[in-house]
């Protein structure tokens, strides 16, 4: 532990940017201290072949006995697009039961906010968007192939 602390202090001294990062790390440490969370996966590559997308899930966890996905954010405000992003992550890893979906916002003052996204239509809205994008890509490929001799 001492060596790790020494390395962190050395990094802070060499690069002032790390001092800015420290408060976000405090927020994450506070979250872990206050909320009982079992980490099932971290920085997990996910994919959904049916809808044709992939991504990287920040955390797959158990919270209060229920499986959930968490995306870690540093934004001070919530974005509406997160609901669809989290729906996509959940749809890629869900087996039977829909998973809970959270954005963990690490605040610049060293605190955190845990925002739950539970819109009943989020998954279907994302699926519609993914199919639309895939159709647009397929149409472009088809047009290019028609032009090739």
pLDDT tens digits, 28-49: 999 999 999 999 999 999 999 8
pTM of the entire structure? 0.77
| Residue 35: exposure state from Cβ atoms within 10 A (0-12, 13-18, ≥19) | middle
pLDDT at 149: 57
* Cβ proximity of 12 and 19 under 8 Å: yes
Q: How far apart are CA 62 and CA 28, in angstroms?
A: 16
Name the stretches of the chain with pLDDT < 70. 148-149
Measure CA 49 to chain center.
19
pLDDT at 15: 80
């Amino acid at each position: 532990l001492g060596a790790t602390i020494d390395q962190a202090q050395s990094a802070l001294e060499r690069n002032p940017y790390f001092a800015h990062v420290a408060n976000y790390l405090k927020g994450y440490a506070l979250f872990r201290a206050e909320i009982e969370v079992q980490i099932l996966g971290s920085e997990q590559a996910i994919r959904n072949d049916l809808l044709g997308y992939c991504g990287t899930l920040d955390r797959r966890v158990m919270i209060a006995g229920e499986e959930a996905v968490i995306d870690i954010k540093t934004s001070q405000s919530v974005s509406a697009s997160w609901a669809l992003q989290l729906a996509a992550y959940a749809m890629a890893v869900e087996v039977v039961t829909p998973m809970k979906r959270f954005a963990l916002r690490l605040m610049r003052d060293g605190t955190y906010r845990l925002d739950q996204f539970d819109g009943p239509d989020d998954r279907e809205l994302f699926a519609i968007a993914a199919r639309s994008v895939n159709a647009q890509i397929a149409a472009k490929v088809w047009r290019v192939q028609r032009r090739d001799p």
